[in-house]
Structure 1
């Protein structure tokens, strides 16, 4: 049977949009290879504390929160495509500015507080790009995708994030390979940051050749342009007109476009999806993986090898989600993933309470991360991009993504103190969050498999009437 959509055209557009996800992963992970050099080059010569070093390493996260908050404003005012262009520009400026922060104001080779502040400003700019891309890339993909394959296409964005992290790990390794510590501390870290300018440039150039989403064009009453894009996507002008009429009904109806126009429940669901995705502890597992394994008795080299194994697992099980999300549905995958994460974390907690260290710890961490990557990793982004009605999608996604970055910061920053108090308690807490996430999905989250974005909107209109 002939497909009712232009698969090659949609895939090409999606591939460009997922470069935003790749840069998301690249920008957040590039610091891993450079943070010790930053400490040696900028922090220690100035006699500054470890607290300042920690703030420098995590400064991009401040930008991520800002970018998440601003994503709704920019995506509604500029459009989805132009917001991604803005993100690509911020990635590019941040890459070169972070690598060579003294270019404009400071003599090279003379560390100063001003130079450190300038570096952090550039990292924050990159973080704003991450915040924008994390919200708008999945939104863009969702708004150009046919319902039958929307989940699969949005899931590609999560794959791109993980892939971007893997790419920069290898880039950092290649830059540092065979070089002295002195060279890395003086020059190598600069090249690590500057390397991001290459994918950022590619992202910006390719965005010039993709269209604005038909949902946004209809929202701006640019119906002819929306029809043109829909015709290319669906291979048929008749189908395109039918879809455009459905979109226009949701755009033109009398409900006001306040973010609470469809009730508070939908916003609460979006926020809780974001918060649970972080509160189950995944970024602790990703950010602190080597430290986790070392604290459980692994040698440093072995801990790095185990981290690589986890990276491989992340990629494989993200692919599992891509292949199954439009067949099995969002809710079954999320609930299955929550159960798997709970099993993994409660087992690690029990091992920690009993001071048992060994291969079993690695096995249960793999069970945990695999469960996350086949469920909450990609599916959370799928749902956030598709559950909100057209008129409030930009604002609502911005709120959800801002809460996600706040939750990320909260969980990541409290992990060391929680581990100092009790490793067993720490992992048990993440296990409890996993159980609660399953109950939340079961009771509150609607299934969106196979539904158009406009059909989802009707669901919330009916739900508000019932309330």
Structure 2
């Protein structure tokens, strides 16, 4: 970046962190189920089918949230959507805590998913739209950082409050109202996205926001690029998202979103207790393993943030796909042969480290980058709906697969999926680092 195109780094990081608290809510709801499942099994007498559906009901809500988020972000702006996501999450967290039976709990978990789904689109989208090109990858990765912080803190809380009380799961879920409240209060302070202002014709407001982000030269150059990309556009529809020109970007976005889930790592996050119970671990050891996973996840997410704008997106994705494939084969063999719990733990943590350095943050970065300004909200919605649909399929089928194939069987399947993902990334995914969102329109659209 030209020295005269200076940007206000501290301000941009500050508003990115606030927006990324949406990721914390994602991390909370993602992790809380792992610690709560042993208690929910007792309270609700869950069989394999209901265990999978209860876990996956969050993803079904996320799909609805993604559909809402795209329209809200386009009509009212990114900021109101983030505020609504926070309110929904706070209400549903208390709803789960006070639920009176399985049906009411699943309903509230579904509602929680709506809030998580909205935040999963709007937080990285907002950060991408307010970040300069050279630091956009790192800033969007802040969203992944808050996800893993949410996972770690939730696992720690679950571990320390778990006791012999079968109703302790109510506290585990109810505590989610606290970060949701902080998120809502923080979003009040955020400016609206300058790119959204430009899309709806409020060019003076876009200029005012950009002036808070950087120098006059940065404002002039960025505003010129944004205006050029939206000039002559009309209100977008979902049909536009599948137009021939943007089809290459949609193919990459949807495939990477689905791959991030069906690569299998999230069964480790959500079913830690199931995996380590199969290895003979006690309940206390199962909960302790969730904490270890959270710590490793956090450490290697920091590594990813440091490298995503240096090494680039594509090399990290290739590394993640092949690394997970090898890790899963090792994990399956250890579970199949009844190896020591410590050895299984080491391989699980290795897989978490690989995922945290690659597929976890980089997928969100790429999805936030590759779609044209005029359809970004709707295209992001479709990609992330695909992600949540894949997540539901993954977590719903895992208990059933374990019942049929044993705890080790599904990991051979996930290894094969990772090899296919490696080939797709090698053949179809282009590098995006260092390019503005407007330049990437040229890279990922056909003419």
**Fold shared per TM-score above 0.5:** yes
How do 1:275-290 residues align onto structure 2 when only pairs under 5 Å count?
275-290=258-273
Residue 259 (structure 1) aligns with: 241
Cα distance in 1 for residues equivalent to 2:102 and 2:79: 33
What's the TM-score once normalised by structure 1's chain length? 0.87
CA 1:287 to 1:161, structure 2 compared with 1: closer, same or farther past 3 Å? same
Aligned length: 440
Q: Secondary structure in 1 aligned to 2:20? A: helix
Residue 22 (structure 2) aligns with: 20
Tell me by how many angstroms 1:435 deviates.
1.7
Work out whether residues 5 and 217 of structure 2, in 8 Å CA contact, stay in contact via their aligned partners in 1.
no
Q: Which structure is larger by alpha-carbon Rg, 1 or 2?
A: 1
Cα distance in 1 for residues equivalent to 2:325 and 2:58: 30
Cα distance in 2 for residues equivalent to 1:17 and 1:405: 20
Work out whether residues 40 and 169 of structure 2, in 8 Å CA contact, stay in contact via their aligned partners in 1.
yes
User: What is the root-mean-square deviation in Å for CA atoms of aligned residues?
Assistant: 2.5
- Is residue 239 of structure 1 aligned with residue 218 of structure 2? yes
CA 1:56 to 1:427, structure 2 compared with 1: closer, same or farther past 3 Å? closer
Q: Secondary structure in 1 aligned to 2:204? A: helix
Residue 434 (structure 2) aligns with: 450
Tell me by how many angstroms 1:32 deviates.
4.0
How do 1:117-132 residues align onto structure 2 when only pairs under 5 Å count?
117-132=103-118
Residue 386 (structure 1) aligns with: 369
> Any idea what the Cα deviations from partners look like across 1:52-93, whole Å, max 9, x if unmatched?
565445433321121123321221122111110110110121
CA 1:416 to 1:117, structure 2 compared with 1: closer, same or farther past 3 Å? closer
Instruction: Identify which range, 395-404 or 167-176, moves more after superposition.
Output: 167-176
> Any idea what the Cα deviations from partners look like across 1:223-278, whole Å, max 9, x if unmatched?
011111111111x1232022111111111146984112423221111110011111
CA 1:165 to 1:393, structure 2 compared with 1: closer, same or farther past 3 Å? same
How do 1:168-247 residues align onto structure 2 when only pairs under 5 Å count?
168-176=154-162, 181=165, 185=167, 188-234=168-214, 236-247=215-226
- Is residue 85 of structure 1 aligned with residue 83 of structure 2? yes
Work out whether residues 159 and 287 of structure 2, in 8 Å CA contact, stay in contact via their aligned partners in 1.
no
Specify every segment of 5 or more residues in structure 1 that has no aligned partner in the other structure, as ranges.
102-110
Work out whether residues 342 and 368 of structure 1, in 8 Å CA contact, stay in contact via their aligned partners in 2.
no
Tell me by how many angstroms 1:24 deviates.
1.1
> Any idea what the Cα deviations from partners look like across 1:11-61, whole Å, max 9, x if unmatched?
1101111110001111233344445555666x46xxx97755654454333
Residue 130 (structure 2) aligns with: 144
Q: Secondary structure in 2 aligned to 1:230? A: helix
Cα distance in 2 for residues equivalent to 1:31 and 1:222: 43
Cα distance in 2 for residues equivalent to 1:36 and 1:415: 16
How do 1:53-72 residues align onto structure 2 when only pairs under 5 Å count?
55-72=53-70
Cα distance in 2 for residues equivalent to 1:49 and 1:294: 16
Cα distance in 2 for residues equivalent to 1:356 and 1:171: 29
Work out whether residues 340 and 367 of structure 1, in 8 Å CA contact, stay in contact via their aligned partners in 2.
no
Work out whether residues 69 and 401 of structure 1, in 8 Å CA contact, stay in contact via their aligned partners in 2.
no
- Is residue 135 of structure 1 aligned with residue 114 of structure 2? no
Residue 460 (structure 1) aligns with: 444
Cα distance in 1 for residues equivalent to 2:26 and 2:97: 18
CA 1:52 to 1:289, structure 2 compared with 1: closer, same or farther past 3 Å? closer
CA 1:35 to 1:309, structure 2 compared with 1: closer, same or farther past 3 Å? closer
Tell me by how many angstroms 1:169 deviates.
2.5
Tell me by how many angstroms 1:160 deviates.
0.7
Residue 29 (structure 1) aligns with: 31
- Is residue 161 of structure 1 aligned with residue 147 of structure 2? yes
Residue 8 (structure 1) aligns with: 10
Q: Secondary structure in 1 aligned to 2:444? A: helix
Tell me by how many angstroms 1:192 deviates.
3.0
Work out whether residues 64 and 128 of structure 1, in 8 Å CA contact, stay in contact via their aligned partners in 2.
yes
